[in-house]
Structure 1
Amino acid sequence: MSLMKTRRGKWFLLITVMVLSLAVLSGCAPSAAVTHTTEDLKNGGFWQSNVVYYFAIALDKFADWFNGEYGLAVLVMVIIVRTLILPLTIKQVKSSRAMQAIQPELQKIQKKYKDTPEKVQQETMRLFQENKVNPMAGCLPLIVQMPIFIALYNSIYYNPHLREHSFLWLELGKPDHLFILPVLAALTTFIQTRMMTKMNPMQQQGPMQFMMMIYPVLIFVMSYNFPAALPLYWVYSNIYTIVQNYFLYRNNDKHKLAIASAVKSTDDSSPAPKSKSGNKSSKGAKKSK
């Protein structure tokens, strides 16, 4: 029961982060009726002058590498950000494998203490700590990227070159109402989450499966309403994740077996009860001597 609450909590946190980001992004952008420039960021608050300004300058620099193509500049930003958070992703993968490996022990706990939910929760957390499992590790990469999304959203309005740039069929400063980019963002998000469920069968259970279906829908709605540069970032990031997960999980079964052999059993900490029949047989052996 506690494990299910943990999984629900993880996906609830992910969806909450997405909804809060939607609210923040909707409220933090400057008025579209006013023309803004990158230089205006220097006179802004702490966020504008110390984060968004340098973010916009970096995008300008990356675009210069590709003859002013800001669509490719966003791709460079994705590669840099995702590479920087790769250690968090690897930690997430290790935690996910360990979570799968301790499933038999979790089932023992739930069966042994089925009448005392508090004890189930206590023993579950002890098992997590002993085997270095963090159920919320999967949220960290997304949470870390939230400031990047917000900074990118702000820089669209303050950077006239990015705001007015055309890339393929897109105007990066305007939403893609042809539905192509929102569909790509939702589709790559679905493929990414689908890969995770196949690699981690625990996430295929009812409530988790429902939440993972909602996640691409949220991405679609946000992609339809936001300037195209932001869902373009999501598409690039999702493709990066799909390729990354292929290499991280391709030997998943072998890694799970190695982790399972190292899992600390719930019975290890409790002494084995002495067998009365064993004591009697030993006494009988002494008498026969």
Structure 2
Amino acid sequence: MKKIKRLTILPVFVAVSLLLSGCVQRTKSGKPYGLIYDHLAIPTQHVINWLTGVMGGSYGWAIIAITFIVRMILMPVMLKQAKNATIQQEKMASVRPQMASIQERQKNASSAEEKTALSQEMMALYRENGISMTGGIGCLPLLIQMPIFAALYAAIQYSPELSKTTFMNINLGKPSIILAVLTVLIYGGQAYLSLQGIAPEQKKQMQSMLFITPIMLGGMTFVSPAGLGLYFFVGGIFACLQTILVNAMRPRIRAEIEAELKKNPPKKVVSPKPISVAPKQKNNIPNTSISNRKRNAGKQQHKK
């Protein structure tokens, strides 16, 4: 299951990196152009300049305002996704004894057919009990934010005014180690909050994936302009608040699932028996059934 999650999230990270690092070219005179710059960066520069005027001339507060707007728009989607992930965690806890039994048999399986049958049993266990293979974790919020990442990156990188602006003594046009460290810390805190109220067995499964996000975003902040790092850091504050809300919802979700399981207990599945394939006969070995038929036929003719 961990492999599935990693395979699901990895292409998204690669796509984000490609969007942030490419698609903007320069003419011989140094003027930027391209799809990202023309259709995302320039409109974003206009929005930032307008918000800067509203915020008393501070580009930093303008970026924070953009972060607030984006996060408030995404909040319902993120809360729904987090709730679905919590529901999946509780459902998995209800079938954990069956999962442990299947995993133990998979370790002791001696043939490929037996391993295939046990894998089918595990999939049937998920399917019959309404459990998602990815644990309810999706990439929709990150996919929605990808154009925003690219727009902010290009707007900050190629805006003469914005690239030279400072906010709290941090140059928004250059990478900031301070913001990179703060981003790692804030998302590390969010990962820690996500593990609260979860069974120890589930914590072991989730820890490696949860702590990939702080490292990934910290690395992107370290190599990106500080304006984009400010967006990541403030977004991390919203992520912590969202996690606190989900943790407050968790007891009610757990009570609802327990009530549902009393009415409809977890379904048990039976592993299909592996199909044994008879070995093919070699050409030099006679088919005994055919030779027996010929022998019986010869006896009958002899009797006549």
User: What TM-score results when the alignment is normalised by the length of structure 1?
Assistant: 0.75
Shift of 1:19: 4.0
From 215, 238, 241, give the equivalent of 2:239: 241
Q: Residues 204-215 of structure 1: matches in 2 within 5 Å?
A: 204-205=203-204, 208-215=206-213
Distance 2:89 2:155 in 1: 41
Change over 3 Å in CA distance of 1:187–1:154 after alignment to 2: same
Report if the CA contact (8 A) 1:30-1:157 is conserved. Answer: no
Distance 1:54 1:257 in 2: 47
- Give the aligned residue type for 1:245: T
Distance 1:127 1:117 in 2: 16
For structure 1, which runs of at least 5 residues remain unmatched after alignment?
A: 271-289
Shift of 1:226: 0.9
- Give the aligned residue type for 1:66: M
Q: Residues 164-175 of structure 1: matches in 2 within 5 Å?
A: 164-175=164-175
Shift of 1:65: 0.8
Q: Give the structure 2 partner of residue 221 of structure 1.
A: 219
Distance 2:148 2:197 in 1: 28
Change over 3 Å in CA distance of 1:20–1:49 after alignment to 2: closer
From 260, 264, 272, give the equivalent of 1:262: 260
Alpha carbon RMSD of aligned pairs, Å? Answer: 3.0
Q: Give the structure 1 partner of residue 120 of structure 2.
A: 118
Report if the CA contact (8 A) 2:36-2:150 is conserved. Answer: no
Shift of 1:191: 0.6
Change over 3 Å in CA distance of 1:126–1:57 after alignment to 2: farther
Report if the CA contact (8 A) 1:95-1:133 is conserved. Answer: no
Aligned length: 254
From 36, 47, 50, give the equivalent of 2:39: 50
Identical pairs, percent: 25
Q: Give the structure 2 partner of residue 87 of structure 1.
A: 76
From 5, 8, 11, give the equivalent of 1:10: 5
Q: Residues 78-157 of structure 1: matches in 2 within 5 Å?
A: 78-110=67-99, 116-128=118-130, 135-157=135-157
Distance 1:95 1:133 in 2: 13
Change over 3 Å in CA distance of 1:186–1:60 after alignment to 2: same
Change over 3 Å in CA distance of 1:111–1:167 after alignment to 2: closer
Which secondary structure does the structure 2 equivalent of 1:28 belong to? coil
- Give the aligned residue type for 1:249: N
Shift of 1:165: 1.1
Distance 1:265 1:145 in 2: 39
Shift of 1:143: 2.5
Change over 3 Å in CA distance of 1:259–1:128 after alignment to 2: same
Distance 2:121 2:266 in 1: 13
- Give the aligned residue type for 1:78: T
Larger radius of gyration: 2
Where in structure 1 do 4 or more consecutive aligned residues deviate above 6 Å? none
